[in-house]
Structure 1
Amino acid sequence: MVMGMSEVTEVMNRVKEEFAKREGGLQTVIFVACGGSLASSYPARYLLNAEARNLRIAGYNSNEFVYATPKAVGSNALVICTSTKATAETVEAVKTANKLGAVTVGLTGYDDSLTAQSAQFYITYYHADEWYKDPSLIHYNSQGTALKIAFWLLKEYEGYEYYDQAQKAFELMPEIYGKAYEKVKEDTAKFAMDYKDDKVWNVLGSGVTYEAVYSDAFCFFQEMQTVHCVPIHSGEYFHGAFETTDKDLAILLLKSAGRTRYLDDRAERFLNKFAGHHYIIDAEKLGLDRLDEKVAEYFNSLLIHPITKQFITAMGEVRMHPMSYRRYMWKFEY
C-alpha cells in the first residue's frame, strides 16, 4: 500500500462510522489552517471541487474560521485542521468546530501536538526542513496526506472511478520526483546566480499548481528570503498583473500538466514576447506525463512544490540568506 495510505484509511473509516450515526451524514468538508499548511490543502480542495457532485467543499484561514465561522459547521460537517505542531489559531479552530458538533480531524507532524490532542481524530505526516531531498517522502507530507484523504472521500462518498489510478500515481511519484530532483540540479545553480539580486517577484501558475504559486510567494520568497513576491493565477494574469511586466521583472512560471495547461501556455507566449527575466518550471517535462491523464493534474503541486524549494534554496545559498532566517516569526508575541 502507498506510504501513509493505511493511516489515512484507518482514521477515515472511523470518521465514516461516526457520520453514519448522524442524520443526514456527511455534507460539508472544510479544510482549516494558516500559511503553508492552508496552502497544502489546496490540491485536496481543488480535487474535491472538481470531482464531487454532492459534497460541499471549503477552505478557511484558522483565525477567520474562529471569528467568522461558516454556518455549515455542525453535525454534518467534517473539519480538517492542519498544523505541523500547534499553531494557536488552528488549535482554536479545532475547538470551535468541536463546540459546534462537527467531526474534527487534525493533520499534524507529531502525535503529541495540541493539534492532535484537540481534534477528535488525527493523522500524522512526516515533517522536516530537508524533506524535499528524500524522494521517498514526496507524498508523506501535509499536502500528500490531505490529497489522500480527498481521493478517499471521493471513493467512499462519490463513487469516484479513478481511485486505483490515483493510488498508482502515488506509487510512481517518488521515482518521478527522484529523477526530476537530479535533473534540475545544474539548473538550480544557474537560477541562483541569475536571480540572486532580485527583490521583487511574480509567480504564476494554474490549477492544482496554484498551491506551489501561493507557497512560493508567501513562504519561500517572502517568509524565507524576505523579498516581495506576488502570487498570480495564470488565468488572472491578463486581467491586471501583466501590465507590470517588463524585461527586468523577475517572473517564475510554473506550468501544469492537465486541463489548465492552456492558461500557462498563454502566459508563456506573452512572457516570451514582452518579458525577458523569467524562468519556467514545467511539470510535464519533469515527468508528470507518466501518470494516467485522468488523475495527473491533481499531482502537479506534489512535484512542483519541492522542485521550487530546490531552486529557491539554491538562490538563498548564493545570497547567503538561509531559508531558516526570520525577522519576526517565533521571536515574540504578535
Structure 2
Amino acid sequence: MLGFDESEFRAQTASAVGLRPQIEELVQSLTSQGFDNLFLVGAGGTYAAMWPYEHLAAKHSTLPVKAAIAAELTAVGDATLGERSVAIFTSVSGTTDDSLRAIEFCKAKGVRTIAFTGYPDSPIAQAVDVALVSRPKTWPFDMQMLLFMTCLLSTRGEFAGYEKFADELANLPDVLVEVARQAEPVAAAFAEAHRDTEYHFLVGGGNLWGFTYLYSMCILEEMQWLRTTRVHSAEFFHGSLELLEKDTSVILFQGEDEARVLTDRVERFVRKVSDDVTIFDTKDYPLTGISEEFRGILAPMVLDTVTGRVSKHLERVREHSLDLRRYYRVMEY
C-alpha cells in the first residue's frame, strides 16, 4: 500500500487501545470525586474530532458534554466552566498553542484537565493534571476517546456492553489494516479520476459530521490546497446545494447510525444533478471481530483509515506533498 507503514500503524493503534487500564482508572477517579460537566476542547482537526463524542453523549447521557474551540473558550469563556468541570484535550505533538492557552485558562478556574498525546515531555502533557500518552504520532484519537466516553457512560448506567466493546477494540490493529487494504484500489481510482479536480462538495451527518468537517478543512484544504464546501446531511437542503452542477465532485461519508437516512436522502438528490458522486460507506467493510451493535460508533476511525489511503494517492497524482504548508506554522499569526 502506498506510503503505508503497516508495522507502525499497528503499533500506534495498539498503543492507543492499550491505554484502556489507565483510562478506566481515570474514569473511576473522576466518578468517585464527582463532576458536573465535561468539555472536549480542541483546535482545528482535534476540535472537529471531538464532535462524535459530544454526539455520543447527547444520544445516551444526561451528563452535559460540550465540544469547544480552544481559542474561543479562552477568549469568550463559558459560564458553566468551573471547579466542577472536567476538560479533555488531544494533541498529536503536544505543542498546539491554542490548546495550551486553553489549558491555562481552565486550570485558573479550577477545572480538572486531561490530555491524550504522544509525547510525555511535551508542553501540553506537562501542563495538564493527567496526561495519557500513546505512541508518538498516533492519530486519530478515536480509540482513546471511545474508551473514555463509553467507560464513563457505562459507569453512569448509560451505555450497555462496555466490557464486550472494550475487549473487541483489541482487534482494531487487524481490523483497520484490513480496511486500509480493501480501500487501497478504491482510493487509487478516486485519485486518478480527480487529479485535476479543484473543488469538492462533502456531506456527512451523525457521528460523521465532525469527520466530514475535518477531512474537508484539514486535509483537502490545508494539505492539498483544494477548495471545498462541507455540509451536514441534515442541513443539505438549506443553502449550499445551489452550488451543485453536473460536473461537481460530491463526496458522501456514510455511516451506520440513525443519521444514515439523512445521507441517503442527500444521495438520492445529488445523483439527479451531478455525474460525479463518490460514497465512502462503512458498510462496505467487514470489521471482523466487531459486533454489529458497535459498528456505528466506529465510523469515524474506519473512514479516517479509508481516506488516509485517498490522501496518499491524491498526494501522488497531484504531486503535492501532504506536509506542504504556506501559512500554518510557517508564518506568524
TM-score, normalization by structure 1:
0.89
Deviation at 1:125, TM superposition (A): 2.9
Is residue 2:70 matched to residue 1:62?
yes
Q: CA deviation at 1:7?
A: 2.5
What is residue 250 of structure 1 aligned with on the other side?
A: 249
Letter in 2 for 1:162: G
**1:29, 1:58 within 8 Å by CA — same for their partners in 2?**
yes
Q: Deviations over 1:67-119 (max 9, x none)?
A: 11111111211111222222111111111111111111122221011111111
Q: Which amino acid aligns with 2:219?
A: F
Distance in 1 of aligned mates of 2:116 and 2:248: 38
Same amino acid, percent of matched pairs: 23
Match of 2:324 in 1: 325
Contact (CA 8 Å) 2:180, 2:306: kept in 1 or not? yes
Deviation at 1:281, TM superposition (A): 0.8
C-alpha separation in 2, matches of 1:91 and 1:65: 12
Over residues 268-309 of structure 1, what are the superposed CA-to-partner deviations in whole Å (9 max), with x where a residue is unaligned?
A: 111222111121111011225974343322111010012112
8 Å contact 2:60–2:158 — kept in the other structure? no
Match of 1:136 in 2: none
Conserved 8 A contact 1:220-1:309: no
The structure-2 alpha-carbon separation of the partners of 1:126 and 1:234, relative to structure 1 and needing over 3 Å to count, comes to: farther
Matched-pair contact (CA < 8 Å) for 2:120–2:133: yes
Q: CA deviation at 1:149?
A: 1.0
Aligned mate of 1:7, from 10, 22, 34? 22
CA contact (8 A) 1:143 1:302 kept: yes
**Equivalence for 1:225:** 224
CA–CA separation in structure 2 for the residues paired with 1:43 and 1:98: 25
1:298 aligns with: 297
Give the corresponding residue for 1:275. Answer: 274
SS at match of 1:239: coil
The answer to whether the 8 Å contact 1:247/1:274 transfers is yes
How far apart, in 2, do the equivalents of 1:141 and 1:234 lie? 23
Paired residues of 1:208 and 1:299 also in contact (CA < 8 A): no
Aligned to 2:99: 90
Aligned to 1:149: 148
Distance 2:140 2:29 in 1: 21
1:81 aligns with 2:80: no
Output the amino acid matched with 2:97.
Answer: A
| Root mean square deviation of aligned Cα | 2.0
1:104 equivalent to 2:113? Answer: yes
Cα distance in 1 between the residues matched to 2:113 and 2:73: 13
Conserved? CA contact 1:192–1:318, under 8 Å: yes
Partner of 2:42: 33
- Residue ranges of structure 1 left out of the alignment (5+ in a row): 132-139
Residues 37, 127 of structure 1: CA spacing in aligned structure 2 closer, same or farther, 3 A cutoff?
farther
Segments of 5+ residues of structure 2 without an aligned counterpart are: 1-13
Q: CA deviation at 1:159?
A: 4.5
In the aligned structure 2, how far is the partner of 1:105 from the partner of 1:8?
11
TM-score (norm 2): 0.89
Which residue does the alignment assign to 1:191? 190
Cα distance change of structure 1 residues 172 and 63 upon mapping to structure 2, 3 Å threshold: same
Asked if residue 120 in structure 1 is aligned to residue 147 in structure 2, the reply is no
Check the 8 A contact 2:187/2:306 in 1, yes or no: no
1:259 equivalent in alignment to 2:261: no
Number of residue pairs aligned between Structure 1 and Structure 2: 317
How many angstroms does 1:33 deviate by?
Answer: 1.1
Picking from 12, 16, 34, the partner of 2:31 is 16
